[in-house]
Amino acid sequence: MLGLVGLYDPPRPEVAAAVRRCHEAGLRVHIVTGDNGATAAAVAREVGIGLPRLQVVAQSESIGDHELDALLAPSDAEVVFARSSPETKLKVADALRAHGQIVAMTGDGVNDAPALHRAHIGVAMGLSGTDVAREASTMVLTDDNFATIVTAIESGRRVYDNVRKFIVYIFAHLTPEVVPFLVFALSAGTVPLPLTVLQILAIDLGTETLPALALGRERAEPGTMSRPPRPSSQGVISRDMLIRSWGYLGTVSAVLVMGAFFYVLWRAGWHPGDPTGAGSPLHHAYVTATTATFAGIVTCQVGTAFAARTDHAALRDIGLFTNPLLLAGIAFELVFTAALVYAPPLQGLFGTAALPLDVVALIATFPVIVWGTDELRRWVRRTHRHTTP
């Protein structure tokens, strides 16, 4: 819950639309004003404050603490505090905070400074506000427009979502990077190491950086302002994120890349325990297999990047080509990978070998499989939410 406190006189046309978006996002808007209660209530109804229920406190200075707590308890009601003083604003902020709600409070005068400071987000008027109010606030509205606050809320949700997308993308690659070493260790060396250290460095420092940064510029998903506010106790990294990144995206990627590794080796006639070191008949097949693992992780990154673009909506809802920075990052990582696989000087440095066409065709399907698996998972979750009473 978030309480937005303030009276805007005269109300601007866009304020009604902004209030409606607040209600869709699960936010309540309260008014604290020194004006007459009937006047304040009329302004509130004009812009949509008080739907479905509006309560008016005609003499706010005389209201007791218990009555104030009851009025501001979580509910569908919005309150107009008329004939109030600066102390009333402070009491309202304290009461909302006591109920565990996140409070954004507006103000412009010197006497509003204590309440602006007490609120989680003090919002001062940049045009009509005093210097004291601006210094006591967290945010300053340069246009004195209530709709700007709602735009800031949407931008904050978008940034928060994009940070989570960045984390999902980065975490998803830990599983396919760790599993090859686990397979090597658990097999006591009968399965050769599917990935080299330099290849991991090429992934972590070369191929995944630009797409990860591009996810931070992702547009807001459809329905961002239709979701209720997240609990203030919820951290950026959640259990569902870890399950999605490590359990779904990471596991699918690990299975695919290990499948490509074993496919190359078995096609060459390898059996567990066969020597693959330098000078052995299977050494070239082994180098090709590790290259397939490396290239497979990169192509899985492409699928993960598209999957991480959305957390709630389907990819078609935001558009495949709406993030040109991500497309440029993916193009770079594919060119970088091709250089490491096919350029002779880099082959010797990173221990890679040119991949045959059938292996290239195999790993080219990985992005679709990784993205499709996650898209199916999110579709099932959306369907379940819509069908659950």
Tell me if residue 130 falls in helix, strand or coil: coil
Side chain identity, residue 34: G
The residue among 352, 199, 363 whose CA lies nearest residue 284 is: 352
Count how many residues are written for the chain: 389
Token digits of residue 224: 């961002």
Stretch 213-221: mean pLDDT, rounded?
90
* Angle value at C-alpha 257, between 264 and 188, nearest 5 degrees: 75
Name the maximum alpha-carbon separation found in the chain: 92
In this prediction, residues 113-134 reach a mean pLDDT of 91
Mean pLDDT of 94-100: 91
Least confident of 152-156, 336-340, 364-368: 152-156
192: left (phi over 0), alpha (psi -120 to 50) or beta: beta
Helix (H) or strand (E) holding 56: strand 53-57
pLDDT band at 104 (very low <50, low <70, confident <90, very high): very high
pLDDT (tens digit per residue) in 42-61: 989 988 998 888 999 988 88
User: Region 256-266: what's the mean pLDDT?
Assistant: 96
Q: Are 212 and 135 in contact (CB under 8 A)?
A: no
**Position 89 pLDDT exceeds 50:** yes
> Mean pLDDT of all residues in the chain?
89
Q: Is the pTM of this model over 0.95?
A: no
Q: What are the strands of the beta sheet with 121-125, ordered from one edge?
A: 53-57, 77-81, 28-32, 2-5, 102-107, 121-125, 139-141
Is 56 within 8 Å of 82 (Cβ atoms)? Answer: yes
pLDDT of residue 9: 45
7 pLDDT higher than 70: no
pLDDT above 60: residue 1: no
SS3 277: coil
Q: How far is CA 326 from CA 210, 330, 333, 380, in A?
A: 8, 6, 11, 26
Residue 155 has pLDDT above 70, yes or no: yes
**DSSP-based three-state secondary structure for 268:** coil
Return the residue matching tokens 């699960």. Answer: 26
Identify the pLDDT of residue 388: 52
Q: Which residues pair with 103 in a beta bridge?
A: 3
pLDDT higher than threshold 70 for residue 335: yes
* Predicted local distance difference test score (pLDDT) of residue 162: 93
Q: What is the chain's Cα-based Rg?
A: 28
Residue 219 pLDDT > 80: yes
Average pLDDT value for residue range 287-291: 96
- Whether the pLDDT of residue 8 is over 80: the answer is no
Residue 260 Cα to chain centre, angstroms: 32
Comparing CA positions, the residue from 59, 53, 87 lying closest to residue 73 is: 53
Q: What is the pLDDT of residue 177?
A: 93
Query: What is the structure's pLDDT at 182?
Result: 95
Residue 366 pLDDT? 97
Q: What is the pLDDT of residue 12?
A: 59
Percent of the chain with pLDDT over 90: 57
